Amino acid sequence: MSTDAHFYEPKDGHGLVHDPFNAIVGPRPIGWISSRAGNGVLNLAPYSFFNAFNYTPPIIGFASVGAKDTLRNIQETGEFCWNLATKNLAAPMNQSCAAVPPDVNEFELAGLTPAPSRLVQVPRVAESPVSFECRMSQIVRLQSATGSETNTWLVLGEVVAVHIARQLLRDGVYDTAAASPILRGGGPADYFEIKPDALFRMYRPGQEPA
Ligand SMILES: Cc1cc2nc3c(=O)[nH]c(=O)nc-3n(C[C@H](O)[C@H](O)[C@H](O)COP(=O)(O)O)c2cc1C
């Protein structure tokens, strides 16, 4: 550890220009979540407090900081889709985060096309090359270390169907960089794009190829 470290306790403030927390825990993949309200209105919004948590069954999750429309929709219907945010979709992804009333369809707002899903009633983003159809498995209200309730809900869902644009498959292997995924950094505006030159390989001890 550096002897010249900036130390702070988050409860007392970070003392910097921007909160470094999400710049440190970053870049984060983006949970671009489509959902449908009980009354049928479609919704689309990005969530970068997002990740994958299990293989079998595959489970993904995102955190709604505050009770937002996506959370309410999933509480109502139990379904959602995840869509891969790519460099060419950066602008519409960003537009879909607009704080608009629940009756506004962010697909229309961002000029995106809803594509029907197969197993759930929530459409995918047709322009996105990869989508997961998901069924909600748990909604967990987060607590502080002392047990006080926060205003944040972790939404977890089982991935029940996967759509992958075939051009992202090379000899049967999914090529992560080929889609140019974008990830969220810190500060008010930082993003990262994954390009092939970011790749390096390291096998687990004992699992090196012969
Ligand atoms: C890249 C990006 C990541 C975001 N990540 C989150 C997040 O993890 N949690 C959250 O509550 N809001 C996040 N937001 C803000 C929401 O997208 C925004 O509040 C949106 O209006 C919520 O939409 P909804 O009410 O339709 O669900 C993010 C915004 C952007 C642009």
> Is the predicted pLDDT of residue 2 greater than 70, yes or no?
no
Other Cβ atoms closer than 10 A to 114: 18
Sequence-distant (≥ 6) Cβ neighbours of residue 1 within 8 angstroms: none
pLDDT of 210: 83
pLDDT over threshold 90, residue 193? yes
Q: Which atom of ligand 1 is nearest to the CA of 65?
A: 11
- The predicted model gives 139-151 an average pLDDT of 98
Q: Report, as an integer, the average pLDDT of 43-50.
A: 98
**206 CA to centre of ligand 1 in angstroms:** 41
pLDDT at residue 14 in the model: 98
- Written as one string, the DSSP assignment of the chain is --SS-----GGG---SSS--HHHHS-SEE-EEEEEE-TTS-EEEEEESSEEEEETTTTEEEEEEES--HHHHHHHHHSEEEEE--BGGGHHHHHHTT----TTS-HHHHTT--EE--SSSSSPEETTSSEEEEEEEEEEEEEE-TTS-EEEEEEEEEEEEEEEE-GGGEETTEE-GGGG-BEEE-STTT-EEE--GGG----PPTT----
Give me ligand 1 centre to Cα 31, in Å: 9
**pLDDT bucket at 197, cuts 50 / 70 / 90:** very high
Q: Which ligand 1 atom sits nearest the alpha carbon of residue 50? A: 8
Q: Given the CA of residue 43, which atom of ligand 1 is nearest to it?
A: 26
Tens digits of residue pLDDT in 96-114: 999 989 888 999 999 999 9
pLDDT at 3 (0 to 100): 81
Rounded to the nearest angstrom, the distance between the alpha carbon of 184 and the centre of ligand 1 is 11
Q: Which fold has domain 17-197?
A: Pnp Oxidase; Chain A (2.30.110)
Span from the CA of 76 to the centroid of ligand 1 (angstroms): 19
The pLDDT assigned to 1 comes to 61
Ligand 1, pocket residues at CB < 6 Å? 30, 43, 45-49, 62-66, 68-70, 94, 97, 99, 184
